[in-house]
Structure 1
Amino acid sequence: MSVLIPCIIAGGAGTRLWPVSRETMPKPFMRLPDGQSLLQKTFARASRLADVERVLTVTNREVFFRTQDEFRQLNKANLALDYILEPVGRNTAAAIAAAALHCARLYGEDAQLLVLPADHLITDLSAFDQAVSQARALAAHGWLTTFGLVPTRAETGFGYIEKGQALDANGFKAARFVEKPDAETAQQYLDGGQHLWNAGMFCMRVDAILHELEQHTPQLLAAVNHCLALSPYKEGARECQVELDPDSFAQVPDISIDYAVMEVSQQVAVLPSQLGWSDIGSWEAVRELKAGDHQGNRCTGETVLHDVRNCYIDSPRRLVGAVGLDNLIIIDTPDALLIADAARSQEVKVIAQQLKRQGHDAFRLHRTVNRPWGTYTVLEEGPRFKIKRIMVRPDASLSLQMHHHRSEHWIVVSGMACVTNGEEEFLLDTNESTFIKPGRVHRLTNPGVIDLVMIEVQSGEYLGEDDIVRFTDIYGRAPEPAAS
């Protein structure tokens, strides 16, 4: 059988899981009660499959370095890692087209793509392994195979796939795709046994999906192919990266793979599956992952409760006291607090959407922000000042940069810093400091073997993160020098 390449699709903001899920730290990076993120669980599930030697991930450029960190913690088998980096999200059809074209060029058109959303939870791994084996058998005969989940309830929040003609390997031809039904129709689907939940997971040969894309959405396939031709390709240390060209990728149609291909193709098979699956689509779904106490409460962090029942409270940093509550969701983060009726937890996305319309930072960022070199946390800010805690990993370095409107005072808390400040370069030890004037070129590097932690005090007329001019950067964030 041809090579299997798991393809993790890591898109979407997860707005129903605000304030933990945000634009720059979306749902796939959410930690579950066991400490692993949904993205890590998806990677672990893919990498344990037989004969898998590489994993391809399609994700946003802004979360690339965090994705690398997540995978490196688990990649004990030293699998090869391919990344396709999107400048903006253009939906699943564009992501899968880019993955298929990438694999056709590098690994052959007979390769099989196993498309896995990065933000789903599957608890029955042996059933998953068996389902993938069956899906591969169907894909080998040219079927675009989708995993149809056997419904356990009359669910109105998922799309459905109706089973048609029986095929080999326990599959069925997909008779039709159905949008999210009303409650009465969902109950009929559950009772009839002919409809399955659409999980958005697929297994298919590269040449098969490319043929169907060419048949049903040739404009999209041509646009993605043109974009790939203009996109830089980097390779090294068992990793390769394709950073999609922003201008041409913006011209790719924004459409899901279901609308573009699956609902109109005659080559779609559905494989009934029971995988212990959840899309973790709301805080109510997250609540079900944790065992409740004798009052039905599920709590993370320190709580003092009186006459409280059936509540989910997540507050790892701050004590929560509650009196006389029932069936509430309470999510506390350093800069935002969510309180919701658990029965209406799907509506949390309305809060996130309103914050986005307002341009509020709480839609995009947490107080702690990940960067390729480490993290920074905003401790306090006000008119003309901002105080940050900065952590730089060993051998990591900030870009050589300059600010027009602010000065910076750096104080080392622990570790050793190598500082470029104008024409000078010197070491700073614990409790030592330096002052950087506006307009002065500077850089911070950690030459040690432990994390460098420092406090940065900014002062000036404008303190936005966009007041930065990068000259050189080891992570490729500085502009390319002009050709001579």
Structure 2
Amino acid sequence: MNNLPIQPIVLCGGSGSRLWPLSRESFPKQYLNLIGESKNSLLQNTFQRLKALKNIESPILICNENHRFIVAEQMREIGIKPKTIILETCGRNTAPAVAVGAVRALSDHNDSILLVLAADHNIKNEEKFIEVLEVGYTTAYSDNLVTFGVVPKSPETGFGYIESVEPFSSEIKPHKIVRFIEKPNIQLAEKLILDKKFSWNSGMFMFKASQIIKEFSNYEPKILELCKKSLSNSEIDLDFLRLDNNYFSKCQDISLDVAIMEKTKLGKVIPLDIGWSDIGNWQALWDNEKKDAKGNFIKGNVLIDNVKDCYLRSESRIVACLDVEDLIIVENNDSVLISKKSSAQKIKYLVQDLNKKGFKEGKFHQKVYRPWGNYTSISNDKRWQVKKIEVKPQASLSLQMHHHRSEHWVIVSGTALVEIDEKQELYSENQSVYIPLGSKHRLTNPGKLSLTLIEVQSGSYLGEDDIHRFDDKYGR
């Protein structure tokens, strides 16, 4: 390889609504462990597969502000310290995100080769993926803008397509791009896959930081200007860099393909035949999983009799199936999805309908993650609710007060340091403490093991926004 460093830029956006009920806006698919026996999330696997690349920098991650602590914790779990985690105050698609990443990368080096990756892809042949990236590096070093075209295996309507000047062969080499095609209907997709000039658009890119900046200057100067201003006026918040919303929100909502790749004369596509999937829906997940002799993928408490070609997943309760085929059945603690596999692309519309009708399950899980740990809603009524709270070792909640509710905590495992109106006391397993309405209080786990407690709230209003914070180690 040449001497420019490789700068990974990982785009962590997206809600993954087609993988509901496991993937939701509050905790989307890129942060879930979905594939095989691996304990890693899709985001974590994105970094693990890059280890064999030489001259690679610490990553720049770009994510939704609401997911910042999830991203930071998942990077900590696999021993990766990001160069920076950039927080988008609003979603503006991939073009503004890449522009921000490129400007940020140039602040560290005179130039670098940017490797733009999505956080939610699965790749089976990681060794060949590295070979493809090495060709991509050489091509990008010669001032080309490189994208990677997945060799299609079926007539997919969920992907865009790329046409190259010449047909792909088994050789890994760059091809000049003729055009991009938006997601086709099934009739067009069936025609496209018969021509080896067409490939699926993977949404991965390689180019020099300086070169993509030049192309933004040529084709989308306003986006570049707004991204520069949003960075120069950004706010440092702990380990995060929060973009200035006044500028970033004015960026056009546009993909990198439409903004730059369809206009540039420097575009090259390199074939990608590596067992790639964007895990875009339950059908794709079924395709990528190991199945039994009758084509079933089964996970969790599932009982079957005369079942064929199904994706069956239980997260909590027993799922029993009899005389069915070609179904997706996914159960978790608050929702059950039952769908034909052929309808997998339509699930996002079902989620839209849930949200429109005000079902909180469309966006939120019962288990909610916080920088200090998590809580799970167990039961509730109008004037009370019960939660299970887990606090990580050495972590603490904010010093806070509630205007409309009191709380009762029962410690079930670990040790709790509880502060109430400036008085501190330690509590251990089977002990309890009452937090009166209006009291300033803080919960800390001073131990080396996780702290678990049951919280009973009661009052006239139980919303999460009834928190007046006085001090918070996480800058909230």
TM bin, normalised by shorter chain, reads: over 0.9
Matched, 1:72 2:73: no
Aligned to 1:482: none
Shift of the 48–61 alpha-carbon distance from structure 1 to 2, 3 Å rule, reads farther
**Does 1:81 pair with 2:86?**
no
Q: Deviations over 1:171-221 (max 9, x none)?
A: 112111111223343233222211111100000100111111111111111
TM-score (norm 1): 0.93
Q: Which runs of 5+ in 1 are unaligned?
A: 478-484
For structure 2, the residue ranges without an aligned partner over 5 or more in a row are: none
Q: RMSD of the alignment, in Å?
A: 1.8
SS at match of 1:370: strand
Structure 2 residue aligned with 1:349: 348
Query: How has the CA–CA distance of structure 1 residues 220 and 244 changed in structure 2, closer, same or farther, with 3 Å as cutoff?
Result: same
Q: Which residue of 1 aligns with 2:475?
A: 476
| The 10-residue stretch of structure 1 (146-155 or 277-286) with the greater mean CA deviation from structure 2 | 146-155
Tell me the number of residue pairs that the alignment of Structure 1 and Structure 2 aligns.
470
Contact 1:418 1:446 in 2 (8 A): yes
- Matched-pair contact (CA < 8 Å) for 2:167–2:196: no
Any idea what SS the aligned residue of 2:100 has? helix
Question: What residue in structure 1 maps to residue 362 of structure 2?
Answer: 363
Tell me which residue corresponds to 1:134: 135
Give how far 1:166 is off.
10
Which amino acid in the other structure matches residue 158 of structure 1?
A: F
Q: Could you give the per-residue CA deviations for residues 376-408 of structure 1, whole angstroms, max 9, x where no partner exists?
A: 011111120010110101110101111111111
What is the SS of the residue equivalent to 2:194?
helix
Please report the TM-score for the alignment, with normalisation by the length of structure 2: 0.95
Match of 2:27 among 25, 29, 39: 25
Deviation sequence 1:259-313 (CA, Å, 0-9, x none): 1111111111111121210111110111123322233222111222233222211
Contact 1:6–1:46 under 8 Å retained in 2: no
Q: Counterpart of 2:49? A: 45
Greater displacement, 189-198 / 179-188: 179-188
For the Cα contact (< 8 Å) 1:47–1:55, is it kept in 2?
no
Aligned partner of residue 65 in structure 1, secondary structure: helix
**4+ aligned runs moved over 6 Å, structure 1:** 165-169
Listed as ranges, the matches of 1:301-312 within 5 Å are 301-312=300-311
Paired with 1:43 and 1:334, the residues of 2 have a C-alpha distance of 30
The 1:291–1:169 alpha-carbon spacing in structure 2 relative to 1, beyond 3 Å, is closer
Against the structure 1 CA distance between its residues 185 and 63, is the aligned structure 2 distance closer, same or farther, given a 3 Å change threshold? Answer: same
**Other structure's SS at 2:163 match:** strand
SS of 2:116's partner is strand
Letter matched to residue 94 of structure 2? T
Cα distance in 2, alignment partners of residues 224 and 142 from structure 1: 22
What's the counterpart of residue 481 of structure 1? Answer: none
The residue identity in structure 2 corresponding to 1:251 is K
Per the alignment, residue 57 of structure 1 pairs with 61
Change (3 A) 1:87 1:464: same
Q: Which residue of the partner structure matches residue 399 of structure 1? A: 398
Partner of 2:192: 189
The structural deviation recorded for 1:358 is 2.9
Could you tell me how far apart the structure 2 residues matched to 1:378 and 1:234 are?
29
**CA shift for structure 1 position 241:** 2.7
The aligned residue for residue 271 of structure 2 is 272
Residue type of the alignment partner of 1:5: Q
Kept after mapping to 2: 8 A contact 1:148/1:270: yes
C-alpha separation between the residues in 2 aligned to 1:143 and 1:51? Answer: 20
TM-fit CA distance, 1:169: 7.5
1:19 is paired with a residue whose SS is: coil
Q: Which amino acid aligns with 2:343?
A: R
Q: Is the 8 A contact 1:312 1:330 kept in 2?
A: yes
1:143-292 residue pairs with structure 2 within 5 A? 143-164=144-165, 170-233=173-236, 240-292=239-291
The answer on whether the counterparts of 2:144 and 2:207 sit within 8 Å (CA) in structure 1 is: yes
State the secondary structure of the residue aligned to 2:180.
Answer: strand
* Pair 1:118 & 2:122 matched: no
For structure 1, which segment, 401-410 or 243-252, has the greater mean C-alpha deviation from structure 2 after superposition?
243-252
Cα distance change of structure 1 residues 330 and 192 upon mapping to structure 2, 3 Å threshold: same
- In the alignment, does 2:388 pair up with 1:389? yes
The farther-off stretch of 98-107 and 301-310 is 301-310
